[in-house]
Amino acid sequence: ELVGKAQALAEMSQARVEICLLGHEVEKLVAQIQNAGSSAIRVADDPALATFSSAIFARVLADLAGLHKPQILLFGAGMRNASLAARVAARLETGLSAHCVDLKFEGKNLVQTVPGFGGHLMANIICPDRRPQIATVTAGVFQAATRVDVAPEIIKEKPQIPAGLRGAKEVDRSTAGSM
């Protein structure tokens, strides 16, 4: 769905749609999304990205955004992505609209529509002075991307993850209480 909406926005702004894929040993995931309709897939594959950590993933995404200067970053509105999007926005010193139900352009500004007051009204939010414009999008709102037979450019990124940056640690809950 995010790629579908990104395709529509890219047509309006004459921009490219790129997917960022972070993780470790993600070749199978690249194969699954390569026909999703993006122009490129940026792959950051590193052992430090094997387990999700919003601190580490945010550092990598913010570094990529700083390097490649996207106009917009879109995230799903799930719990992990909400935390990740907020950290990325803070690192990039830009705004974030959460749980968007519509996205459109007015000039160069992304108009991000979010429900307010329990859904009884809709508010339009813009971020006119900072880039990228960042939004989380509620699932089920947009149509899925049209699958394409044109293979995207696969770009391997080398994430710079400082040794002191703490990440998540997997805990086996079955034995955690016996410590």
pLDDT of 9 reads 84
pLDDT of 108 reads 85
pLDDT of 84 reads 93
CA 2 remoteness from chain centre: 9
pLDDT of 147 reads 65
pLDDT of 153 reads 85
Other beta carbons within 10 angstroms of residue 53's beta carbon come to 21
**N-terminal to C-terminal alpha carbon distance within the chain:** 43
Structure tokens at 61: 């995404």
Residues in the chain with pLDDT values less than 50: none
Other beta carbons within 10 angstroms of residue 109's beta carbon come to 15
pLDDT of 66 reads 93
Q: Of 4, 42, 8, 6, which Cα lies nearest the Cα of 26? A: 42
pLDDT of 179 reads 52
Query: What gap in Å lies between CA 30 and CA 129, rounded to an integer?
Result: 34
Q: What angle do CA 76, 153, 68 make, to 5 degrees?
A: 65
pTM reported for the whole predicted model:
0.82
Other beta carbons within 10 angstroms of residue 78's beta carbon come to 12
pLDDT of 25 reads 93
Question: Which residues are paired to 21 by β-bridges?
Answer: 43
